[in-house]
Chain A
Amino acid sequence: MSGCASTLSFALQQPVPGVADIICIASGKGGVGKSTLTVNLAAALSCQGKVVGVLDADLYGPSVALLLGTDDGVETTPEGKAMPKQRHGIHSLSIGNLLAPEAGLVWKGPLIAQAMEQMVYDVAWPSLDILLIDMPPGTGDIPITLLERLPVTGAVVVSTPQRLAAVDAERAIALFHEYDVPVFGVVENMDGYVCPCCGKINRLFAGGIVEPLARKRHVAYFGSVPLDPAASAATDAGIPFLLRDPQSPSAKAIAEVADKMMASLRRERANPKIAEDA
């Protein structure tokens, strides 16, 4: 591995008490449906009996509070740790729970590191099988801070099938690899949508871009999740659509992604070296 990684000090890394595995969900480009995928993956894992947490690390555009329908305000334990929200069987914490949209906050670099650490370590997480981190778009301060500080088990990268998004997704994969974090797989999102009137599948983008990207970067392709216009209604109501309509094509595709992610996690757990080289 080149340049960047060798200069890092992994001695800084600190496990999060009670959390078995941390998986980052990242995209590079914004608006590709990463947060929606994150909460629905959490829902899928929770349906399988896993205890799941979601940390919204997208300080610039926190959506998890809205997506899970959790309310404002965070309670603290007597020790001063923040209590995660619990809804739909998912434990979560988002800056959206803490700040009104009018706050118009500009996060300067050093502030971010501090805020991020608080949101990870100063939280009374229950005993979690998996903590999913909804990463912000890009490869700036937040991902760097998280990757330097947290023992991340693996990552899943999301992209829409357009070149614009794939270029950024490739950068995200490169960033994880620089930090020696295995990318479990790449998910294609919003390839097309089903017309509710005539049932025809309409493509939204060029297509045929995400799977080749996975091949190029030697990571697994986790499949394609179609856009479900009805899901955006469920989303605005704060319910993961996987729970509202588990038989929809989108929900099934996400359940499949969850299975593949868990299989990768098991492989990584069984033999970190082999899984990484695979």
Chain B
Amino acid sequence: MNVVTVEETVLAALKSVTLGPTGPDIVSSGLVYDVVATGPVVRVLLDPDKIPDNDAEGLGEFLAPMVEALPGVERVIVKPRPKSIISSDSPKVARFVLGVHSGKGGVGKSTLSANLAVALGLRELKVGMLDADVYGPSMPTLFGLSGRAEEVNGRIEPLQAHGVKVMSLGFLLPPEKALAWRGSLIDEGLPLLLSEVAWGDLDVLVVDLPPGASDVHLALAKHAHLSGVLTVTTPGNIALIDVKRGMEMFADLAVPCLGIVENMAAIACSTCGHSIPLFGQGGGQALADETGLPLLASIAFIPDLSLTGDAGVPYVIAAPDTASSKAIAALAGQLASRIPERVLA
């Protein structure tokens, strides 16, 4: 059977567009970099370097209605192709740099990051944890660290807890201080948490990203050498919209999304055991289906575990036999297998 995909339909249509009356078509000339369809939503990715007169906007306005009229297409997004902005001046502090991201705040991203870092450490990996949530640094609380980071030989020493080297702006300023940082300050300050910190030899650096799509994310995409990001979501509708926005941002920056983790999936009543979806349900799987990315884990909400976070002992250590801890341990196993082998000198 010969099934024509939406992508093929769109590509065929785009091939009918040529550069000038006798010029090559825009697909074979490489001007159209790729066409990606997720369901009825089609992204046409252009290569800005190959667009005559740099008129990407004009070309987009011309192509969008044409593609939108094709069968199976509901919405069209014309934009530049993914482009990495990694700066070669920045040091790569670990063999594998994992960003943990969510579009929406409060989905448990930081708790998950901390537990994941500890779980990776339990697999005998050398793990660093960078708290890049500059507006709401949570790692001091989650790791039970209240000290200040000291400078030794001109480099900032990360603090250590539960087998993980941790660095957070929380170690550099008091909690009651409002961190009113303009974006411009982020561009200068954030790279220092990578280059000026004595991370030592790391297998993995887990980076806890702030929610949203901001200067912080751009700064990290530029300086942190992100190997990939995990996308964390709660199962409800509201979270999913924001999550998609974040995923789009990383796709634009050519940072691969490794998969989806659904958090706070359900909660069980402590008296009758009746389990209810706390923040909607099925969203993680729906997102996985829509984006074609794997749903790597689905983690229930266990109220007692939030106590372990407040007490500064990640639950993979405090309560290793709970379903949540096992889910995180399994996730750590999946991620560990992606870390490039250590090259022996």
Contact = CB atoms under 8 A, between A and B. Distances in A.
Given A104-B248, A104-B249, A31 B107 contact: yes
A180 to B, nearest CB: 13
Contacts of B269: 195, 197-198, 200, 202
Contacts of A246: none
Contacts of A175: 178, 180
A204 B303 contact: yes
Interface string A153-193: 00000001011110110111011001000000000000001
B248 A200 contact: no
Nearest to B278: A229
Nearest to A167: B175
Interface in B90-147: 103-107, 110-111, 134-136, 138, 141-142
B217 interface: yes
Contacts of B175: 167, 170-171
Interface size class of B (residues with CB under 8 A): 35 or more
Contact of B136 (A61, A137, A174, A236): A137
Interface in A186-227: 193, 195-198, 200, 202-206, 227
B183 A61 contact: no
Interface in A46-62: 59-61
Interface residues of A, number: 64
B163 interface: no
B276 A61 contact: no
Interface in B294-328: 301, 303, 306-307, 309-310
A223 B13 CA distance: 60
B271 A200 contact: yes
Given A193-B267, A197-B272, A204 B105 contact: no
B158 interface: no
B241 A139 contact: no
Contacts of A198: 269, 271-272, 274
B242 interface: yes
A170 B141 CA distance: 14
A137 B280 contact: no
A137 B171 CA distance: 20
Contact of A109 (B141, B183, B271, B276): B183
A96 B244 CA distance: 13
B218 A31 contact: no
Contact of A101 (B180, B184, B215, B244): B244
Given A30-B136, A61-B105, A178-B180, A102 B77 contact: yes
Given A30-B104, A61-B211, A102-B75, A178 B178 contact: yes
B30 to A, nearest CB: 23
A144 B274 contact: no
B180 A144 contact: yes
B153 interface: no
B252 A31 contact: no
B176 A170 contact: yes
A170 B135 CA distance: 12
Interface string A108-129: 1110100000000000000000
B227 to A, nearest CB: 20
B3 to A, nearest CB: 25
Contact of A66 (B142, B238, B248): B238
Interface of B: 41, 43, 75, 77, 103-107, 110-111, 134-136, 138, 141-142, 175-184, 186, 210-215, 217-218, 234, 236-239, 241-242, 244-249, 251-252, 267, 269-272, 274, 276-280, 301, 303, 306-307, 309-310
10 closest A-B pairs by CB: A31-B106, A30-B105, A104-B248, A109-B183, A60-B212, A138-B135, A197-B274, A175-B178, A174-B178, A195-B269
Given A141-B182, A197-B269, 19 more contacts: A4-B180, A31-B105, A60-B103, A60-B245, A101-B241, A102-B43, A106-B217, A112-B183, A137-B210, A164-B309, A167-B175, A195-B269, A195-B271, A195-B274, A197-B274, A202-B269, A205-B306, A232-B236, A236-B280
13 contacts: A31-B106, A60-B245, A104-B245, A106-B252, A107-B214, A109-B184, A109-B186, A163-B309, A167-B175, A197-B272, A202-B267, A202-B270, A229-B278
Interface of A: 4, 28-33, 35, 59-61, 63, 66-67, 96, 100-110, 112, 136-141, 143-144, 160, 162-165, 167-168, 170-172, 174-175, 178, 193, 195-198, 200, 202-206, 227, 229, 232, 235-236
